[in-house]
Amino acid sequence: MLALISKHSSLFLSMAAVIGFLFPALSSAALPYLPYVLFALMLFTLMGIDQRALVQAIFNLDAWGYACVHTIFTTVIICAFGFIFNADRDLLLAMTAVCATGSLFATPAIVRSVGFPPLKAMAFTITSTLLMPLVLYINMFLFSGEAFSLDLQSYTLRLVIFIIGPMAISYFIHQNVAHEKLSRVHTKLAQFTILLVFSFPFGLTGQFRWLWDEQRDFAIAMLILAFAICILFFIIGLVLYWRKGKDEAFVAAITSGNRNVLLTYSVAGAFLGPLYLPLIGALQLPIYMQPMIVKAMLKRDSKRAAKA
């Protein structure tokens, strides 16, 4: 059963977003537990990564260059569009918070499911996550207005819990548990990891459903905006990395489109303004549709190559 779920994970992730939308009360009930699920997912993912290879990849300047594209460059582009279309401050705050957000920790698994090696995606995910606190703080300072005030003690504590914590625990485990034993344990844990990922689209789309019921026109506008943001991020990654080869370009595009918006919410919470939760709820469907679209694109290209 788990093998079947993993094989069709792209479809099930999109279905989880739809189910969360259809049952908003259940989705909202799951929302408070998602930070705990996020912590477990980050830890389980890091436990399965070769630490030496990951450290080498992280210290590669290319990974940090990608992180700057993922967070800073996308912030500049989104701000430019926001000013052109005269977006209000709350919407700009929500959008730039999404820009600052690192990639999903499920991204390596998603990249692997599409058919690409996951190590580069993991390096991109780690560096964009490490850069996130700084870019997020700057974006909140710029777009929260004169009333901006951030409890740095709480902010730092959340960073330690949700980012540094899983990394430190994973490092400790790798240092003190034999590789063979850890590999056996992680093989079993990995079967359940995809089930944890399903909880994110399910638990976040309920916030969008409440907006849909109360302000239908505005909700539709937010959904269109969510699709536009995901498409823009995907195109940015694809175009900027195309010269490095199709494989790396698609890895960068998928990583850029996947955003760990729950981590940003866990770190900054109410400081992100009233539109952040509705926006990230709307983002769930386009985010988790991306693997299906990439698979379809690659399948079409392979058919064309076979005919040629």
- The confidence score (pLDDT) of residue 8 equals 65
Q: Where are the domains of the chain?
A: 2-307
- The confidence score (pLDDT) of residue 228 equals 95
Domain 2-307 has CATH 1.20.1530.20: yes
Apex CA 96: angle with CA 95 and CA 97, to 5°?
A: 90
Give DSSP secondary structure letters for 65-126.
Answer: HHHHIIIIIHHHHHHHHHHHTT--HHHHHHHHHHHHPPPPTTHHHHHHHHTS-SHHHHHHHH
Contact 259, 97 (CB under 8 A): no
State the average pLDDT for the chain.
84
Over residues 76-85, the pLDDT tens digits come to: 999 999 999 8
Ramachandran assignment for 115, one of left (phi > 0), alpha (psi -120 to 50 degrees), beta (any other): left
Distance of CA 272 to the CA centre of its chain: 17
Residues 6+ positions from 53 with CB-CB distance below 8 Å: 119
* pTM score, whole prediction: 0.85
C-alpha to C-alpha distance for 43 and 257, rounded to whole angstroms = 22
Residues 6+ positions from 203 with CB-CB distance below 8 Å: 20, 27, 30, 31, 33, 34
- Centre a 10 Å sphere on the Cβ of residue 292 and count the other Cβ atoms it contains: 16
Over residues 85-125, the pLDDT tens digits come to: 898 888 999 999 999 999 987 787 778 777 787 778 888 98
Tokens matching residue 231: 């498409």
Examine the pLDDT at 194 and tell me if it is beyond 80.
no
Q: Which position has the token pair 């995907």? A: 234
